[in-house]
Amino acid sequence: MSESSHYRGRLAPSPTGYLHQGHRATFAVARDRAQVAGGELILRMEDLDAARCRPEYTAAVLADLRKWGFRWTEGPEVGGPHAPYVQSERRAYYLEIWRRLRRLGFIYPCDCSRRDILLAGAPHLEDEEPIYPGTCRGRAVGTEEPTGWSWRFRVPDGDSVGFTDGAEGRREAVAGRDFGDFVIWRRDDVPSYQLAVVADDIAMGITEVVRGADLLASTFRQILLYRGLGASLPTFYHAPLVRDPEGRRLAKRRP
Ligand code: GLU
């Protein structure tokens, strides 16, 4: 098998709380798929949300993963060719991606508040952000840094974006109807989840993304980022969410 076709999967926990059985089940799917493919599993700590992430959660996440028998060949503490494996230490890389998207004309600065968007935006599914009404689409600013604005990716209105999920089969969404221009850099000067996860999955050579089904809708946005950056797509596998006996999604465990 050539290097480029070698399976590389990842575990990407956010240390915003303690892991629960839902995370464990999803990570087990990721581990099993990597094992069956004879590939590698890497660990990446997704700690960009400074308001919610805490060092004690990071330590607990690592300890629980080890206790549950997960092993990885690259990651925090272990190191590897794509270090650092901690998102809060990868800002320079995200900035480079922001610059590329900017140069290629895919993104624009926006200063709309959440309230502006709710008032002007189209109706949206529960769990989904409102469709951005496009207020700032024509805006241009001469800046070499993203700081001071939120930055949105301009989606190709009317284009169908699709992929075949390993668990859920064919999925399609229409840009501008099912989802709108999405934030890639937040006003508090942090790259968004969408940008960081795609930047890292590309940089780390991930060939299959295994994660919970709650993130399936993000995949359409992420596919547009891959395309914009001219990167080849990984495959996607969205594992069913574990629910409690009342059918509710599990929340992060309390300390
Ligand atoms: N860090 C994200 C989470 O814990 C997962 C990101 C991903 O797998 O794309 O929800």
Taking the centre of ligand 1 as the mean of its atom positions, its distance from the CA of residue 114, in whole angstroms, is 23
Q: Residue 126: what pLDDT?
A: 58
DSSP state string for 26-71: HHHHHHHHHHHTT-EEEE-B----TTT--HHHHHHHHHHHHHTT--
Q: How far is CA 247 from the centre of its chain?
A: 25
Tell me the pLDDT tens digit for each residue of 116-165: 877 776 665 556 778 999 999 999 888 889 999 999 999 999 999 999 99
Q: Residue 252: what pLDDT?
A: 60
Strands 208-212 and 235-239: parallel
Q: Residue 1: what pLDDT?
A: 46
252 flagged as catalytic:
yes
All residue ranges of the chain with pLDDT < 70 are 1-5, 121-127, 251-255
φ/ψ of 45, rounded to 5, equals -90, 120
Q: Residue 142: what pLDDT?
A: 87
Q: Among residues 20, 24, 54, 252, which one is catalytic?
A: 252
Report yes or no: 186 and 152 within 8 Å, Cβ to Cβ.
Answer: no
DSSP state string for 150-204: EEEE---TT-EEEEEETTTEEEEEEBTTTB--EEEE-TTS-B-HHHHHHHHHHHT
Q: Residue 122: what pLDDT?
A: 63
Residue of 23, 43, 46 to test ligand 1 pocket, by largest number of atoms within 8 Å of CB: 46
Alpha carbons 41 and 74: distance in angstroms, whole number: 7
Q: For residue 240, is the peptide bond before it cis, meaning its omega torsion is within 30 degrees of 0? A: no
